[in-house]
C-alpha cells in the first residue's frame, strides 16, 4: 500500500484496468441479454421461439390453426416479420396452460428509424406506402391474419381499431374466402363453433341464412348429418325436428 500511495501512475493504471474489465463484462452481459430475445423459429401464425428457449405466444390474438383458412399466410407473414430479428416483450403473462404470452415488438434501430420516418410522412400528409409494423400483434391483426380475442391488454384499443379496419376492408380472415353464408358446393349443412359449442344447421333451420361459416376458426361445411354428428356437432336449436 505505501508503494501505491507514492505511485499515482500505478494507481491510475489499476483504475483504468478495473474500468476496462467492468466495461467489457457489461458489454458481454448486454450482448447476451440482447441475443436471448432473438427469434430463432416461428412456430405458427401467433407463436415464436426465442434464442434462450422460451416460446412466446402473441398476446391478445388468435391466428388460424394449421390447415384452416389463412393459417399458412399468417405463418409466412410472421416468419417474414420476425425470424432472426431481435424483439422486446411487453406485458408478459402466463395463461392457464402455462404458456408465455406477450406483446412483441421488433426492436432494431433500422426498424424504428423507418417507423418514425413513416410517422413523420403521415403527419406531413405525404405518401407513406407500405411499411411493416414493428408491433407484431398489431401487424397480424391489421392485415387480417389474426383475430383479436378481447383480452385486457395495454394495446386493447389499438388492436380493436386494427381489427375493425380489417373487417371493414374484408381482408384475410374477414374475406369471403374464409367467411361464407351461402354454400359453394352440394355440402350445405353448416357446422358452427361459438364459445366452444359445436352445432350444425340444416337448410330448413330457422336462422340458417344468417349463420356465418368461418373456416379460419374451425367452422365447416358437412354433406350429411352423420358427418356432422361424427365430428361431435349437435343440431342447433331453432331447427324443426318434428318435420324432419
pLDDT at 110: 64
Residue 244 pLDDT class (50, 70, 90 cuts): low
pLDDT tens, position by position, 196-237: 899 999 998 988 999 999 999 999 999 999 999 999 999 998
* Range 16-38 average pLDDT: 62
Mean pLDDT of 115-130: 69
Query: What is d(CA 9, CA 27) in angstroms, rounded to the nearest whole number?
Result: 27
Sorted by where each begins, the domain ranges of the chain are 2-36, 39-174, 179-243
**Cα 109 from chain centre:** 22
Instruction: Write a three-state SS string for the chain.
Output: CHHHHCCHHHHHHHHHHHHHHHHHHHHHHHHHHHHHCEEEEEEECCEEEECCCCEEEECCEECCCCCCCCHHHHHHHHHHHHCCCEEEEEEEEECCCCCEEEEEEECCHHHHHHHHHHHHHHHCCCCCCCCCCCEHHHHHHHCCCCEECCCCCCCHHHHHHHHHHHHHHCCHHHCCCCEECCCCCCCCEEEEEECCEEEEECCCCCCHHHCCEECCCCCEEECCHHHHHHCCCEECCCCCHHHC
Task: Decide which of 117 and 237 is more confident.
Answer: 237
Could you report the per-residue pLDDT of 155-195, keeping only the tens digit for each?
999 999 999 999 999 999 999 999 999 998 899 999 999 88
pTM, whole model, 2 decimals?
Answer: 0.75
Confidence check: pLDDT of 112 > 50:
yes
Check whether 107 has a pLDDT greater than 80: yes
Domain 39-174 -> CATH class: mainly beta
Stretch 32-58: mean pLDDT: 89
pLDDT of residue 24: 55
- pLDDT at position 29 over 60: no
Highest mean pLDDT among 5-9, 30-34, 193-197, 211-215: 211-215
| Confidence at residue 165, expressed as pLDDT on a 0 to 100 scale | 94
Tens-digit pLDDT profile for residues 50-96: 999 999 999 999 999 999 999 999 999 999 999 999 999 999 998 88
pLDDT value at position 25? 47
Amino acid at each position: 500500500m505505501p508503494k501505491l500511495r507514492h505511485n499515482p501512475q500505478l494507481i491510475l493504471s489499476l483504475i483504468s484496468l478495473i474500468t476496462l474489465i467492468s466495461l467489457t463484462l457489461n458489454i458481454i452481459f448486454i450482448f447476451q441479454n440482447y441475443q436471448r430475445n432473438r427469434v430463432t423459429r416461428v412456430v405458427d401464425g401467433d407463436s415464436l421461439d426465442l434464442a434462450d428457449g422460451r416460446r412466446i405466444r402473441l398476446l391478445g390474438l388468435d391466428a388460424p390453426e394449421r390447415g384452416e383458412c389463412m393459417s399458412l399466410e399468417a405463418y409466412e407473414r410472421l416468419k417474414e416479420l420476425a425470424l432472426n430479428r431481435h424483439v422486446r416483450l411487453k406485458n408478459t403473462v402466463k395463461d392457464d396452460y402455462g404458456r408465455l404470452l406477450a406483446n412483441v415488438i421488433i426492436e432494431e434501430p433500422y426498424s424504428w428509424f423507418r417507423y418514425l420516418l413513416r410517422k413523420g410522412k403521415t403527419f406531413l400528409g405525404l405518401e407513406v406506402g407500405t411499411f411493416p409494423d414493428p408491433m407484431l400483434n398489431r401487424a397480424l391483426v391489421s392485415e387480417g391474419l389474426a383475430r383479436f380475442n378481447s383480452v385486457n391488454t395495454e394495446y386493447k384499443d389499438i388492436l380493436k381499431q386494427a381489427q375493425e379496419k380489417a373487417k371493414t376492408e374484408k381482408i384475410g380472415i374477414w374475406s369471403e374466402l374464409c367467411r361464407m353464408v351461402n354454400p359453394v358446393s352440394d355440402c350445405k349443412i353448416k357446422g358452427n363453433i361459438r364459445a366452444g359449442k359445436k352445432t350444425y344447421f340444416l337448410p330448413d333451420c330457422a336462422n340458417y341464412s344468417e349463420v356465418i361459416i368461418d373456416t379460419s376458426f374451425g367452422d365447416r361445411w358437412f354433406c350429411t348429418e352423420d358427418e356432422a354428428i361424427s365430428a361431435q356437432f349437435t343440431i342447433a336449436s331453432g331447427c324443426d325436428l318434428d318435420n324432419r
